Structure 1
Amino acid sequence: MEKQPFSHLDAQGAARMVDVSAKADTVRRAVVRTRVELSASTFALLQDKALPKGDVLTVAKIAGIMAAKKTADLIPLCHPLALAAVDVRFDLDPQAACVHIEAEACAVGPTGVEMEALVAAQVAAMTIYDMCKAVQRDIRITDCRLVHKSGGKSGTFEAS
């Protein structure tokens, strides 16, 4: 099997942004999930909107959306994208005292939005951490993964 060249390296081995100008614009969508594990007492405060820094989930949602829009500023070889939509959703699990986060990014363009969805989910999770750390230091952010990707030449991916 012939070795394929690395897409983000030029002929001299230097990093470069991939040229996507010849790729067709398609509707791109990516969904990422992660979770934030809290203690039962911190989870109750979050649920009751009684934490010292205020309404955690509203702030985390806005932070995730803002972060998705800044992905190309944070990850050097990512293309700046005109995002059509970004959403961050939360599912509270009282039994496990955790917040399930789902971030979704959509765009019409020549390259995917996986990184934008990943950044949105992680920044939302870190915002929850930041807003809860005054009452709990051992918060865990876990299980971040791409669960859906569609659009482009490679087609649709669904995590099993």
Structure 2
Amino acid sequence: MRNYPHINEQGRARMVDVSEKEVTRRTAEAKSVLKMKPETLTAIYEGTVGKGDVLAVAQVAGIMAAKKTSDLIPMCHPIPLRGADISFSSLGEDQLEIIATVKTDNVTGVEMEALTAASLAALTVYDMCKAYDKGIVIEQTCLLKKTGGKSGDFHRGDEEG
């Protein structure tokens, strides 16, 4: 049987032992993109969505999600974050891009924290705008880059294949 780090000797899931790993600075950046009606995106930026300031609430939701990732994803290690930020930008007239950036000094990375932050910020935008536009689609969530750790750096677009 192959040695999978998340599988114990009985073939069951386990949390990986990271006690022998070295503490390094680790960062990760992830994004989510939402496609919506142009008038929905306009309402978000003009602050006329009935539930309030969509981007402010999504910002807080994303940061909270980064901090709570290990409570949501079973095999994630709880790690202290050194920073978490969410930014928003328009991609044309009908798409909102959310970028989550997370940092730590730890023995394990923050990719899942960045992905969770971007995802929850996107879900929050949907929740706050669903009465306005039920057709919103969360089109893309992906890791953009990560730095630090034994496996080295990753930048989307640089991977082989």
Task: Name the TM-score, length of structure 2 as normaliser.
Answer: 0.95
Structure 1 residue runs without a partner (length 5+): none
The residue aligned with 2:148 is: 151
The residue aligned with 1:90 is: 88
Deviations 1:46-93 (A, max 9, x none): 111000001000000000000100000000110000000000100123
**SS of the residue aligned with 1:66?**
helix
Identical-pair percentage: 46
The residue aligned with 1:28 is: 26
* TM-aligned CA deviation for residue 153 of structure 1: 0.8
* TM-aligned CA deviation for residue 34 of structure 1: 1.4
Letter aligned with residue 13 of structure 2: A
The residue aligned with 1:71 is: 69
Alignment of 1:1-160 (within 5 A): 4-93=2-91, 95-160=92-157
**SS of the residue aligned with 2:82?**
strand
CA contact (8 A) 2:31 2:98 kept: yes
Task: Name the TM-score, length of structure 1 as normaliser.
Answer: 0.95
Letter aligned with residue 75 of structure 2: L
RMSD (Å), alpha carbons: 1.0
Q: Which runs of 4+ in 1 moved over 2 A?
A: none
Structure 2 residue runs without a partner (length 5+): none
Mapped partners of 2:25, 2:2: distance in 1 = 27
Mapped partners of 2:138, 2:5: distance in 1 = 31
